[in-house]
Structure 1
Amino acid sequence: MYFVLPTSVFAHGWVEYPEARQSICYEQGGLWTGNPPNAACAAALNESGTYQFIQRNEVAINIAAPHYWDINKVKAAIPDGTLCYANDSQKRGLGIAHSEWTKTEVSAGTFEFVFNATAPHNPSYWEFYLTKANADLSQPLKWDDLDLIQEYGNVVVDADKKYRMNITIPAERSGDAILYTRWQRDDTVGEGFYNCSDITITGEGTDPVDPEGPYLHQGEQFIPSDVHLSTPSIDEAVKYELFKSGGGLHASFSLTITEENQSDWDRLLASQVTGYYETNHGGDLFIGAWHEEMVHYMYFRNDLHANYLNSKDEGVSGQFTIIPKDENSDLTAVITPQVLQEINVANVEHGVTVVLHPNQSEGDFNHVEWTQLSGQSISTENGLYNELIINTEQLQSDIDHELTFKLTISNSQGTASNLYSFEVTGSDVENPGENPGGNDWNAANVYQGNDTVKHNGRNWTAQWWTQGEEPGTTGEWGVWQ
């Protein structure tokens, strides 16, 4: 099991709706006195202490690339009985079977899932599992208890640092269940977040999808079965183009084959297509097929030729192509950023408006997407010519910030991307109105959430219980902010 790495020291988020176990216990309180009001939380506290609740935004495990693409290796890294705490023994209380876990009522049908991201990560992908109707919830959760009910590719976080997705509970389900969420970063380290949300399916909801059958027109196969297709070779590329009813190109998507994605390229390419139309065109196109029992569309990942182009417009068509290695260079675009007033993009002062411009590139493109990858989440605007406008006045002014944005452009030749990172220098001027009455930090003192102290000329606020952790050493997402 050498592919399992230690969990990252940074915290990243939890399921806000339906709320995850560790967050519910944290919010209900009583942890520091040893008297949580909920019996399941009390049992979990007795099993493995307060750490699992303090770290509610880091129920995670690292499975290095490319192994996290293989669900069997994920199951080996997170054995049966450890699912709800991602096989981290310091959080094992979250995995105990208990009838008193607080349950969120969720209607059968479609609801909005919300993940509170204290540190958003993209690129990434999502998987949602629901316990089977006959699963024994009196026992710790096992993989065989679960059905995969929904998947999403890269989802853009909103201005409030929330990931929001529509999840569909099968219409015929009711009663108690567990919704199991997997949020997997698509990078070398392969950090994945696993949350258990206890729910009661009321059966009173209405599914916006017609329960009698599919609501999109099924077109041709996504990957044609009449074409001899072996697994594309590394450095080749796969491309999928969508054409309007009149024959004009509407959108183009591509993926270069690497060692990490060679066994899962079709699902990733399909996710690009479906995600784009979900975000920009109201979900009027889906790559996959209608699942009769689940009563919704899904991508059948283990059957290459079982997935189709499904669209509201019957005249839409698609074309799949493998691009040889020696032609793949056409997919690369050289893009250089511009910034307002010729500000050096490597270092700007707090309050400056930065503009990143995609239009200095080799070749034309018809789709532009900007994604923030790191740093404090910040609201941005898109200009008339697809430039990204970033007002750094929103950032906390008394510290330095490093921000990274990803630009993705596409045309009929495929897709290219580039990363732009820059540092925003904070002001050293303190605001005398902040933190009135804060005392000097003392390593021997115990501090609760929202307690304030002074240390090294700055004001600090504790985010949760702490003792002995020096302000200024706990990182951007640590206890002292």
Structure 2
Amino acid sequence: MATFGFILVGLACSLAFAKGASAHGYIESPSSRAALCATGVNKDCGPTQYEPQSVEGKGGFPASGPVDGQITGGGKYPELYAQTPTRWSKVTLKGGKNTFTWKLTAPHSTAEWKYYITKKDWDTNKPLARQDLELLATFNDGGAMPSPSTSHVVELPTDRSGYYLVLGVWEIADTGNAFYQVIDVNLVNDGTGPSTQPPTVPGQVVSTAQTTSSITLQWSASIASEGIKNYEVYRNGKLVGTPSQTTYTDTGLTANTAYNYTIKAVDNKGNVSPASATVTAQTLKEDTVIPVTPPTGLHAHMSTKNSIMIMWSASTATNGIKNYEIYRNGTLVGTATETMYDDTGLTANTSYTYTVRAVDTLGNKSQSSAALTAATLPDSGGGNLPAWDATKIYVAGDKVQYDGLEYQASYWTQNNRPDSSDAWKLLSNATPEWNSTKAYTGGSKVTYNGIVYEAKWWTKGEQPDQSDVWKAVQN
């Protein structure tokens, strides 16, 4: 199909890019498979539930990139490879113009954005392969730095209806990698040709915070073929605000009073959606004190021999969260405004126990989070490394011994044997025998029939003496 026109929208964003994180971006609207994992709609997603923005793999798709069957997980997250007609929650879209919005949590010079859809005859019971896809649109950024909220208008086919996958690929200009986001779509069409999609009704309207004089609302984004211009917030049937974001704080209210709210979406052509379901929220009494909720989901994101990075889920508070206090072995060691902290200057091969407390803008503090124990990596070679444990969860940077050799985890993994999984990188100066079930990256060396071969690029299952991806080298 031809490349369609697009809009690139830079939306005001109150969150700064997270520093030091390895996460980068995901499709926020319409909600991707990874985004629905993060909100808990999709279950059993593995580490993606914590970082929907981390589905990153080799770039250059479709000539390169993840192998067939692993595209939906970027070649790194097996839980996302699964494919049946009922495995994943779907979003309903209509054929014609649709707006796709990426939420970017770290900046990257961008080569291009690409969008694909599965063909009419694709098999919904098989993991996604290249032969299942047809190109919808390509947007070339020429190395530019995108906005934290980046949108494209893409025309979906009007000649098919039912369950289809839309694949978005964000090709990075300065790393050679790409981010892969798949959307499980219930596509609705009457088969007569292109049609205009009016704004969908804002969903999941909730009140996230209340004070004695204000109520904060939040809702899920609407979708429109012409793009969303803004939302209209109605209090007791009267228009009180027109925010461009999916949140709004209604101020100047009376204490201990209930108010009814509805939300409408407005597209760039002035079309208005029907009103959302009504949500009722009440301001607080003058003497009401709402405690700050403690952080949840505390987990170790990455470890080195002298540092441990921890992450957690955000707390809530009536007056908003000011920062978080990080405690190591019961002692305050730092504060963070984001939901992550890199604890440095630690001792190699040592375990530490962490808890986190949230602090609101008035100085009120939450209870401590559940405790997390994490360890730094050993300072030296394989002789001091722990043996690989099939029951243990490892994250990027973790090192283990297996069968006398030293390996390092490339990303989150559990029960993937180091000598046969591309989750592990061999660090020892050794040349193992080629394994048909293991994936190798460019530069990896193996022995096959007594000859040493080196991989030119990513490969799996291609016999060294019969494939151009391998070249014979001196050991």
TM-score, normalized by the shorter chain, greater than 0.5: no
Higher relative contact order (CA 8 A, sep 6+): 1
Name the structure where strand makes up a greater proportion of residues.
2
TM-score, normalising length: structure 1: 0.38
TM-score, normalising length: structure 2: 0.39
Name the structure where helix makes up a greater proportion of residues.
1
